[in-house]
Chain A
Amino acid sequence: MNLAYRLAAGEAGKLPRLPGSLHLNRRLSQWLRFLPDGTIEVRSGKVEIGQGITTALAQIAAEELDVPIARIRMLPASTAASPNEGVTSGSLSTQESGSALRHACAEARALYLAAAATRLGVPVASLSVVAGDIVAAGGARTSYAELADDVLLARDATASVPPKQAAQHVLVGTPLPRLDLPHKVYGVPRFVHDLDLPGMLHARVLRPPSPAALLLSLDDTRARAMPGVVAVLRDGSFAGVLAESEEAALNALAALREGASWRESETLPDVSTLGDWLKAQAVESVVIAERGESGAAGAAHTQRARYTRPYLAHASIAPSCAVAQWTDGRLHVWSHSQGIYNLRTDLALALALPPEHIVVEHVEGAGCYGHNGADDVAFDAALLARAAAGRPVRLQWTRADELAWAPLGPAMTVEIEADLDAAGNILAWRHEIWSNGHSSRPGRAKTPALLAAGHLEQAFEPPLAINPPAAAGGGADRNAIPGYDFPAWRIVSHRLLAMPLRTSALRSLGAFANVFAIESFLDELAAARGEDPLAARLRLASEPRARAVLAAAAARANWAGWRRREGRGHGIGFARYKGSGAWCAVVAEIEAGREIRVERLVIAVDVGLAINPDGVANQIEGGAIQAASWTLKEQVRFDRTRITSDSWEHYPILRFSEVPAVEVEILPRPQETSVGAGEAAQGPTAAAIANAVFDALGVRVRDLPITPERIIAAAN
């Protein structure tokens, strides 16, 4: 759970409110430490998942301490030492960790200045900090390095020292280069996949062929006899191999697969009628929001439409990976988990260990776009490492494991109805959602949410995916409340009580489908009135920052000057992420040939103070390209028994030659609170593309992905 979630869940206690994650991690020494060599170690509980958070946080720390960024050493998060900041998710890291560090560093600077004043015998007011040197007006000087003393920060934060004002910022707000990129470009090992510990063994798991398969028998004779094989393990329907080398592990896995016999059952829905299937399941229903009389009197007519999205895969370029080692009954895990403490909680549950006997240390993985297989593979590694006699075990999933067994982003059906007056004005708006829950993250339920826990002989019931509460941005209902001034609305979310395919958080959660639906429907209403889509949005959006991104994207794309040509179209989409995060408007320009080709995405975004503007642009660009890929191509495929989209061939994503040009404009808001950028573009991009397809072809595609077959189906 991220911090907002935990605060909503009432963990805040009775202590005075401190900013961001400082509230629950009050010790200053948890956050930073000055070393005599001039280095300053900074610890955050938020982790690098490809989004560039390490650089942004280092920038914040260097800014408040008045040191060059090169002095900051960002330490990897570990349950042995780091502040517990829950999960790195929901575009909340700059809010939660950034504001904590800002205040912790400002306070640390003040404590060191006080110590310097005593040492130099001068008043604090006469001191300034220049590149880590503390200089008195008269010329006397000392430094953080000289004063380095762990006792100074062994105290609770008070947040009584105000951090810098925007006008004083030197580093914050500038596009500093990413700290991690050189290593990645020179091939310096830094991924968990690259760990190479002394005596390390390699492991692979024999995953079942389908979600409900049970392992009836396992003939492991051939696998055990293979050179380099150290052990073959089986526990219920969980099985795996340990070997001296990676290739030996793979060879043994192939042999093991041949020796396994499974009982499979048809538990999956019909992929071709998912939208209906979702609506036919037992559900738990929640009214998310209600305003005015949502069944308006005086309506001339009611317009309605249904939109769907399929199950989506994270499809990270690297399969999930972990290293685990047992020493005297204690477990050490190296993992690319988004939530090291939560993973520890579930490992403790599943292994019946006290949490203090487990250390989870974060090591970077490949790009992470939500709750992927990182936690699951850590548990797999811990299970197999039991047979390793104290040696570390590296376990990497196969590509098929990754595409078929990591939790999926849930399929969704969204139905919207609007009551309209005779002129086509919206009197009332109704939005209903059917979906599995959008979070199966570890650390929340009474039973572990780790994949293999459901496969063991003594299996744990896999927890049903839930939806995070509204205070944390909601789940399936994320962005279901329209960001427009409709006089009345009613928003209802139906969460499925069966989960044939394991679902959890994927970048932007329900916002992708909800924004796609709302912004498509708004276009349909505008088209019915003969109104320009941009004009319709400006008429209905009153928030100045919403209007500003719409206007900026339209101006940059030259919306008004669009020249209509055969087979080409443009469309617009907008949302304020979670209703509380970044404002984002996207204009898409497409060409409809044999397939839909997105030529250009022009995006305007308002994230408040952008700590690192290039980092924001990078995330928005990346998010938009990924959303274009979801919108045009992606769909988890399955028959009634098995997931069949378990290779890149069957789960294609957008390639270099298919990627649109992306232009990002960041609205300057240095005085405003920073909000995250990572997920803001997902929904608006999908809507902009769908609206552009309508503009080009006059065909409204309401079921994602927008493939040639879907366009033909929608046209008929």
Chain B
Amino acid sequence: MKSQSAGAAATVRIQVNGTEHEVSAAADTPLLYVLRNQLGLKAAHFGCGTGQCGACRVLIDGRAVASCDTPLWAAAGKHITTAEGLGDAAHPHPLQSALIAEQAGQCGYCLPGILISAAALLARRPRPTEAEVRAALDDNLCRCGSHNRIVRAVLRAAQAENIS
């Protein structure tokens, strides 16, 4: 995170969960704070601010990245998806349904970032093996020990997506 130069406010267009937004912030502001505090999207969570835990992950043009480590300028003009954008209670994403079906989570703070990593995985490998799921989630930390349930959920979602 570039926290040294406050920088002058810039106006940047980003597309988040299918909606165009014009946001105004210093160009080096981490995307995470723009999403959470300007757009009110609280799914991406702060965990470390240095790209080491995955709690803040979002999809940028389909790639799972740490939004705490992505300056606003780097997201300009890009398509951003947060966990809110994957689905909601009315229209859940298969991964979200699968996490609930497997009761995968305790505190749940890590889950939105994990959903993003898993969604990126399924987009490039629709039928991953268990080892591939674990490898894809290796940069997401979970302290509650919900790992195995989460892995089962991702495998379940992969099945469901293939059937439909």
Is there an interface contact between A317 and B42, defined as CB atoms closer than 8 Å? no
Find out whether the CB atom of B145 lies under 8 angstroms from the CB atom of A187: no
CB contact under 8 A between A247 and B103, given known A185-B111, A186-B88: no
Given known A-B contacts A318-B45, A618-B106, A251 and B138 have beta carbons under 8 A apart: no
* Cβ–Cβ contact B107 & A364, under 8 A: yes
- Is A226 in contact with chain B by the CB < 8 A criterion? yes
**Contact string against B for A residues 389-405, beta-carbon threshold 8 Å, 1 for contact and 0 otherwise:** 00000001011000000
Known pairs A647-B50, A657-B134; A317 contacts B103 (CB<8 A): no
B92 at the interface (CB under 8 A from A): yes
Binds B, one of A90-98, A139-147, A174-182, A542-550: A174-182
B84: shortest Cβ distance to chain A, in Å? Answer: 4
Q: Give, as a whole number of angstroms, the nearest-CB distance from B95 to chain A.
A: 9
Question: When the two chains form the complex, which single residue of B36, B107, B137 contacts A366, counting CB atoms closer than 8 Å?
Answer: B107
A51: chain B residues within 8 A (beta carbon): 106
User: How distant is A634 from chain B, measured CB to nearest CB, in Å?
Assistant: 11
B112→A181 contact, CB < 8 A: no
- A184 adjacent to B52 (CB under 8 Å): no
- In the complex, chain B residues whose CB is within 8 Å of the CB of A439: none
Contacting pair A398 B99 (CB below 8 A): no
Chain A residues near B73 (CB-CB < 8 A): none
Interface residue ranges of A169-208 to B (CB < 8 Å): 175, 177-178, 180-189, 191, 193-194, 196, 202
Tell me, yes or no, whether A115 is within 8 Å of chain B by CB.
no
| 8 A Cβ contacts from A646-695 to B | 647-649, 653, 655-657, 659, 661-662
- A184 touching B111, Cβ below 8 Å: yes
- What 1/0 flags go to A237-270 for Cβ under 8 Å of B? 0000000011110110110000000000000000
A626 interfacial by beta-carbon distance below 8 Å = yes
Q: Is the CB of A184 within 8 A of B4?
A: no
Chain A residues near B64 (CB, 8 Å)? Answer: none
Residues of A within 8 A of B138 (CB): 655-657
Residues of B within 8 A of A657 (CB): 131, 134-135, 138
Determine which of B41, B89, B112 lies in contact with A182 in the assembled complex, contact meaning CB atoms within 8 Å.
B89
> A367 contacts B37, CB within 8 Å?
no
Q: B32-61 CB contact bits vs A (8 Å, 1 = yes)?
A: 010011001111111111101101000000
B126 within 8 A of partner (CB): no
The answer to the question of B148 belonging to the interface, with a C-beta cut-off of 8 Å to chain A, is: yes
Residue A410 lies at the interface, judged by CB distance under 8 Å to chain B: no
**Distance from A676 Cβ to chain B, minimum over Cβ atoms (Å):** 14
Q: Tell me whether A367 and B106 are in contact in the complex, defined as CB-CB below 8 angstroms, given that A621-B149, A647-B50, A656-B138 are known contacts.
A: yes
Q: A188 to B151, alpha carbons, bound, how many Å?
A: 22
Of chain B, the residue at the smallest CB distance from A321 is: B46
**Measured CA separation A184–B82 after assembly (Å):** 13
Contact in complex: A245, B52 (CB < 8 Å):
no
C-alpha spacing A246/B29, complex, angstroms: 10
How far does the alpha carbon of A51 sit from the alpha carbon of B134 in the complex, in Å?
A: 24
B124 within 8 A of A: no
Confirm or deny: A468 has a beta carbon within 8 angstroms of a beta carbon on chain B: no
Render B106-143 as a binary contact track against A, CB cut-off 8 A, 1 for contact: 11111110010000000000000001011101101111
Contact in complex: A181, B87 (CB < 8 Å): no
Q: How far is the CB of B114 from chain A (nearest CB, A)?
A: 9
Q: Hey, which chain B residues are within 8 Å of A629, CB to CB?
A: 145
The interface on chain A, measured as residues whose beta carbon lies within 8 A of the other chain's beta carbons, has a size of 67
A564 to B98, CA, bound (A): 38
Does A86 interact with chain B (Cβ within 8 Å)? no
B24 CB to nearest chain A CB (Å): 11
A303→B32 CA distance, assembly (Å): 57
Chain B residue at minimum C-beta to C-beta distance from A252: B6
| A41 close to chain B: CB less than 8 A | no
Q: A647 CA to B52 CA in the complex, in Å?
A: 9
A77 CA to B79 CA, complexed, in Å: 40
- Residues from chain B with Cβ under 8 Å of A364 in the complex: 107
Residues in A whose Cβ lies below 8 Å from that of B50: 399, 647-648
Bound Cα distance A618, B146 (Å): 8
Given known A186-B83, A623-B145, A657-B134, contact A49–B6 (CB-CB < 8 A): no
* B6 and A226 contact, CB distance less than 8 A: yes
Judge whether A104 is part of the interface by a CB distance below 8 angstroms.
no
* A318→B47 contact, CB < 8 A: yes
Contacts of B100 in A (CB 8 A): 177, 181-182, 185
Q: CA of A421 to CA of B142 in the docked complex: distance in angstroms?
A: 48
A648 to B73, CA, bound (A): 27
How far apart are the CA atoms of A662 and B144 in the complex, in Å? 14
Check A482 for interface membership: any CB of B closer than 8 A. no
> Is the CB of A316 closer than 8 A to any CB of chain B?
yes
In the bound complex, residues from chain A placing their C-beta under 8 Å from that of B150 are 656
Q: Does B75 make an interface contact (CB < 8 A)? A: no
The yes or no answer to A333 lying at the interface (CB within 8 A) is no
Docked pose: A186 CA to B47 CA in angstroms: 18
- Report chain A residues within 8 Å CB of B45: 191, 193, 317-318, 366
Among B88, B109, B131, the one with the most A-chain Cβ atoms within 10 Å of its Cβ is B109
- Is B19 part of the binding interface, using a Cβ–Cβ cutoff of 8 Å? no
A-side contacts of B112, CB under 8 Å: 184, 187
Residue A132 CB within 8 A of the other chain: no
A181, B106: Cα distance in complex, Å: 8
Pairwise interchain contact A317-B37, C-beta atoms closer than 8 A: no
Does B3 belong to the interface (CB within 8 Å)? yes
Give bound CA distance, A399 to B107, whole Å: 18
Tell me whether B26 is interfacial, beta carbon within 8 Å: yes
A105 to B161, CA, bound (A): 44
What chain A residues lie within 8 Å of B49 (beta carbons)? 398-399
- Chain A residues in 8 Å Cβ range of B62: none
Chain A residues within CB distance 8 Å of chain B = 49-52, 175, 177-178, 180-189, 191, 193-194, 196, 202, 226-228, 245-248, 250-251, 253-254, 315-319, 364-369, 396, 398-399, 614, 618-619, 621-626, 629, 647-649, 653, 655-657, 659, 661-662
Q: Given contacts A253-B3, A655-B138, A659-B147, could you give 12 more A-B pairs where the C-beta distance is less than 8 Å?
A: A50-B108, A184-B107, A185-B111, A186-B83, A186-B87, A193-B42, A247-B25, A251-B4, A317-B109, A318-B109, A656-B150, A657-B135
17 A-B residue pairs with Cβ-Cβ distance under 8 Å, sorted by A, are A50-B108, A182-B100, A183-B108, A184-B109, A185-B108, A246-B37, A251-B3, A318-B109, A366-B110, A621-B145, A647-B50, A647-B52, A648-B53, A656-B134, A657-B135, A657-B138, A659-B148
- Give the 3 A-B residue pairs with the shortest CB-CB distance, closest first: A187-B43, A184-B108, A50-B107
